[in-house]
Amino acid sequence: MALKTIPIEEPEEPPSSCHLTICPPLTSAASPARFPALSRAKSFRNRHFPSSTIDEWNDWRWQLRNRITTVDQLEKIITLTDSERQALQRHDSTLPFAITPYYASLVAKDDCQDPIRRAVVPVINELMVSPGEAHDPLGEDSHTPVPGLVHRYPDRALFLTTDYCSNYCRYCTRSRMVGRSQDTTAIKARWEKAFVYIEQHREIRDVLLSGGDPLTLPDEMLEYLLNRLRGIDHIELIRIGTKVPAVLPQRITGRLTRMLKRYHPLWISIHAMHPAEQTKEMKKACERLADAGIPLGSQTVLLAGINDNVPTMKKLMQGLVRMRVKPYYLYQCDPITGSAHFRTTVAKGLEIYEGLRGHTTGYAVPTYVIDAPGGGGKIPLLPETCLGRDGNDVLLRNYEGNIYRYPDAS
């Protein structure tokens, strides 16, 4: 491995300019969502944000304005290791650091192996380059005909709506581009080029809104985007990829869900990482989206030391089903630069898949995939269940390892 030294732009918009992009000021017309207050979150708020009210805590814009973004802020919350401190003090990472107060309340103070902490607090390992890693491992840039639009599959397009996330996951596939400063004018100018491309390519019937996180956009900007896409007659399906229900559940307000209902068929894919995220707040956020008639799926990245065992993954997937979220994809971690400490073997992923299939409801079993490096798309990975033929019979292996014969049609 070798240390990477990568010159980058100024990371992340400063809090003072937050209102330009995603944080309109709180007005009396927009009351915060009511959420159950976990005792852990309540004690965290009292300890670290004593002057804040429960209404402020429950307001997503307050959460964004008060994100933890510096070493000084973070070391008041957790006991930093040397590796964490060194990583935070370096300025050659391609990915900014930020955690909402809500998500920070889930981080273990003294356990550096805590799954939530490992996912959002940088360590020195992410500054190391390993063989096979790349800034754009999926080859998205080579399938980008206009800025912010990836057209890799024949009938669908990936629309990168914003470069902003409420929290920055350290294993982010798009660490090369998220967290850069952009104002509203620049975003909308980029969107217009994407709209024109989509209008000109009638083979596109499905648009996935991603980023960054689309649900960090204000309601007005998000509705403009949805309305504009709904005005294109060959667009049949709109999907939103987001981690907001897990990291910023306060964003799922009644006003937001009422707006989203106007743009069906609309689907939402939720990034879910670990059972520790499955709080009452996340459950409430998912229920609000489901009650708005939005089908919910999940996408989970397989991460070494975080969720790479059958009990953890089973608990995560079963918890999602209880929240009315269908587990959709289990991703092998993409080989982004500095991700070696997060990546497992493919054999581990297949072991986990086998530990789920047949051992829990099929609704709780995601498809295990590798998003092929270089732009090959998602390739499903399955253990060997079809063992071949014996005469006219197909030989099959079930989840218990038993062999069965199926009389195949001649």
Q: Give the chain as a 3 state SS string.
A: CEECCCCCCCECCCHHHHHHHCCCCCCCCCCCCCCCCCHHHHHHHHHHCCCCCHHHHCCHHHHHHCCECCHHHHCCCCCCCHHHHHHHHCCCCCCCCCECHHHHCCCCCCCCCCHHHHHHCCCHHHHEECCCCECCCCCCHHHCCECCEEEEECCEEEEECCCCCCCCCCCCCCCCCCCECCCHHHHHHHHHHHHHHHHHCCCCCEEEEECCCHHHCCHHHHHHHHHHHHCCCCCCEEEEEECHHHHCHHHCCHHHHHHHHHHCCEEEEEECCCHHHCCHHHHHHHHHHHHCCCCEEEEEEECCCCCCCHHHHHHHHHHHHHCCCEEEEEEECCCECCCCCCCCCHHHHHHHHHHHECCECHHHCCEEEEEECCCCEEEECCCCCEEEEECCEEEEECCCCCEEEEECCC
Domain ranges of the chain: 2-19+34-127, 141-380, 384-410
Mean pLDDT of the chain, nearest integer = 89
Convert the pLDDT of each residue in 148-199 to its tens digit.
999 999 999 999 999 999 999 999 888 777 776 556 678 888 999 999 999 9
Active-site residue identified among 152, 190, 230, 315: 152
For residue 21, pLDDT beyond 80: no
Active-site residue identified among 165, 251, 283, 328: 165
- Say which CATH topology domain 141-380 has: TIM Barrel (3.20.20)
Is 85 among the residues known to form the active site?
no
For residue 364, the model assigns a pLDDT of 97
Active-site residue identified among 61, 67, 117, 174: 174
For residue 396, the model assigns a pLDDT of 93
Q: What percent of the chain has pLDDT over 70?
A: 88
Is 357 among the residues known to form the active site?
no
Is 174 among the residues known to form the active site?
yes
Active-site residue identified among 114, 213, 308, 371: 371
For residue 130, pLDDT beyond 90: no
Is 18 among the residues known to form the active site?
no
Is 156 among the residues known to form the active site?
yes
Is 286 among the residues known to form the active site?
no
Active-site residue identified among 153, 197, 263, 329: 153
- pTM value is 0.88
Active-site residue identified among 23, 169, 286, 333: 169
Active-site residue identified among 45, 118, 156, 284: 156
Is 152 among the residues known to form the active site?
yes
Active-site residue identified among 163, 213, 308, 334: 334
